[in-house]
Amino acid sequence: MSDLIFASDRTVENNVHAPKCPLPAPNSWYVLCFSEELKPEQIINRTLAGNALVLYRTESGQAMAINAHCPHLGAHFNAGGKVIGENIQCPYHEFRFDTQGDCVHTPYEGCKPPPGAKNRVWQLREHNGMVFVWYHCEGAEPDWEVPNLQDDEYPRVKFKSFVVRSHPQEFNENAVDSGHLYAIHMYDNTKTLEPVTLEGPLLSARYGLQRRKGLFGAESPYAEFKTHLWGQGFNYQLSTVPQYNLFARTHVLATPTEDGFMMIHLAVSLKPLDNPEKIHPLLRLLPKAWVHKLVWAGYMKEMEADLKQDFPMWQNKTYLDKPALAKGDGPVALYRKWSKQFYHHTATENKKAA
């Protein structure tokens, strides 16, 4: 994989020999972009579970997600389209659509917009510096919300994105698969501080562990992190390194795109450091703003390295519906049972049984 230079680079990690996971896309909220990527009056392309969308920001700043093709004659909105005020204009015949998806203008004098010229507007939320879009296989409305984590303790996120051949459920299974932490990531002294708890669409757990090599090559510190997984598309970890008095919030987010592929977003935010000399004595000599950027970049590099270690596993493994689990694997079976609620057929069956 080539080195990533800019924070928003998207690099394809594709192994054509990887088997395709048979599971459909889970019903969930997914991050399609970060807020800073969507500039005013800008249009960008995204694919969500095989659906071609465009995202755009109106003149007033509202983020929108709609079907990418105009319902008039099928032109792509981002093939020359424009955002005009609060409306988006198709490049083919200059039909304009408002934030409800209704056609509100045609260039034909005395001609009202055709009644069938209505585009699909996808449910969207924008917080945590991210743009979330709701996916449901049958188009149902959201029945839960992702939390708004905006606060002054954590500044804006630094992020990178990757395309990987895998599935969100396979990806998020790592949150409970404690057995792979030693083999893949070389963590020592892994222990469960709080067991997995389930509350509707939320799965949470807390772990303690120790790296074999620390930040900037220093002696490995002990760290703790609590993971919060909302559905299959929003995950954040609150990490603490007591030795450094370092606090981080890390997002590792999966978004299903084309069939068999997903986008992974890695985003990191750090609290300002009170005692940077605990990490390295020379850091006390630098301005605080420099220290924050330096440590932030170092932490981001560590998280990216961890993430990339999993790529060969995800892209080459096959999904086993009935794996031969061992006790040391962690609560994988519990996670899979919880995950069933995000598939329409199993959620319906569970409601009927209840």
Locate 37 and state its tokens.
Answer: 């990527």
What's the pLDDT score for residue 141?
96
Question: Is residue 337 within a helix (H) or strand (E), and if so which, with residue range?
Answer: helix 332-339
Amino acid at 202: L
- Residue 133 CB-density burial (10 A; 0-12 exposed, 13-18 middle, 19+ buried): buried
Q: What is the CA angle 10-12-14, rounded to 5?
A: 160
pTM of the model: 0.89
CATH 3.90.380.10 positions along the chain are 158-341
The answer to whether 63 and 38 are in contact (CB under 8 A) is yes
What's the pLDDT score for residue 181?
81
What's the pLDDT score for residue 286?
85
Q: What are phi and psi of 232, to 5 degrees?
A: -110, 10
Q: Which DSSP letter does residue 329 get?
A: G
- The C-alpha atoms of residue 52 and residue 41 are separated, in whole angstroms, by 19
What's the pLDDT score for residue 18?
57
What's the pLDDT score for residue 106?
96
What's the pLDDT score for residue 217?
55
Count how many residues are written for the chain.
354
Under CATH, which architecture does the 28-135 domain have? 3-layer Sandwich (2.102)
- The C-alpha atoms of residue 77 and residue 272 are separated, in whole angstroms, by 42
- The C-alpha atoms of residue 66 and residue 99 are separated, in whole angstroms, by 9
CATH 2.102.10.10 positions along the chain are 28-135
Amino acid at 283: L
Q: Is 173 helix (H, G, I), strand (E, B) or coil?
A: helix
Q: What are phi and psi of 91, to 5 degrees?
A: -75, -15
Q: Which CATH superfamily is domain 158-341 in?
A: Naphthalene 1,2-dioxygenase Alpha Subunit; Chain A, domain 1 (3.90.380.10)
Residues 6+ apart with CB under 8 A from 325: 332, 333
pLDDT tens for each residue of the chain, 354 residues long: 223 222 234 444 444 555 678 999 999 999 999 999 999 999 999 999 999 999 999 999 999 999 999 999 999 999 999 999 999 999 999 999 999 999 999 999 989 999 899 999 999 999 989 999 999 999 999 999 999 987 768 877 889 999 999 999 999 999 998 878 877 887 877 889 999 999 999 999 999 988 766 555 556 788 999 999 999 999 999 999 998 889 999 999 999 999 889 999 999 999 988 888 888 888 888 888 888 888 889 889 989 999 999 998 988 889 999 999 998 888 999 999 999 999 986 544 554 444
What's the pLDDT score for residue 213?
62
Long-range contact pairs involving 190-197 (C-beta distance under 8 Å, separation at least 24): 192/330, 193/224, 194/226, 195/331, 196/331, 196/334, 196/335
Name 229's bridge partners: 203, 235
